[in-house]
Chains A and B, each alone.
Chain A
Amino acid sequence: GENVEQHPSTLSVQEGDSAVIKCTYSDSASNYFPWYKQELGKGPQLIIDIRSNVGEKKDQRIAVTLNKTAKHFSLHITETQPEDSAVYFCAASSRLNYGGSQGNLIFGKGTKLSVKP
């Protein structure tokens, strides 16, 4: 089945700096890659996603890049702010996951981002 690895597990940056979180996946058939942000006491919130026919997608200070050949995708946050502090999860989805015991989305283990003012 699909396996998603996420690095780093913790990341600390100064306010205003950029943050990059990287994920790799194993299933070459995966073609949908969302990113979630989870703040303390809340459920994961979808912040951006990308499909395999696109190499990069931006939304204000957030961008995601996808390299299908290398099977990795990354989340880039520019001009970080204290409110960006949270746990971020990447995930991958493939038609081959359908009916499988992992569910339709395979999640990474998460990255705890701390933005210091």
Chain B
Amino acid sequence: KAGVTQTPRYLIKTRGQQVTLSCSPISGHRSVSWYQQTPGQGLQFLFEYFSETQRNKGNFPGRFSGRQFSNSRSEMNVSTLELGDSALYLCASSLGASGGVNEKLFFGSGTQLSVL
């Protein structure tokens, strides 16, 4: 069974640009969560999607957005990039039952975004 797949693996952008990251969850998983990981802040929750609907949202500005498609694949978008957006962006999938609580969460390898 294939794991969580994230593309691209690396991205280099300049300030002010926008970026779109893609995530394919494990087959059969309907919930996709996104996290930002930085050395100083650790793992910070961005949002969670289930059945094409945003179910949870973290404390990030509106420049960060996401969506989920009918096949459970998800994308996240960051507009007007800032230097502080440089981070590893991780996607995680789970079955999504029971509101997603108490479920095993499986992570992809992440997209390393560098903003210059």
Contact = CB atoms under 8 A, between A and B. Distances in A.
Interface of A: 31-32, 34, 36, 41-46, 49, 51, 89, 93-95, 97-105, 107-110
Nearest to B46: A103
Contacts of B43: 44, 89, 107
A98 B105 contact: no
Given A42-B109, A89-B43, A101 B102 contact: no
Contacts, number: 75
A89 B59 CA distance: 21
B101 to A, nearest CB: 5
Given A103-B33, A103-B56, A94 B45 contact: no
8 contacts: A32-B101, A41-B109, A43-B108, A45-B107, A94-B102, A99-B56, A101-B58, A103-B48
A34 B6 CA distance: 22
B101 A104 contact: yes
B56 A100 contact: yes
A97 B92 CA distance: 17
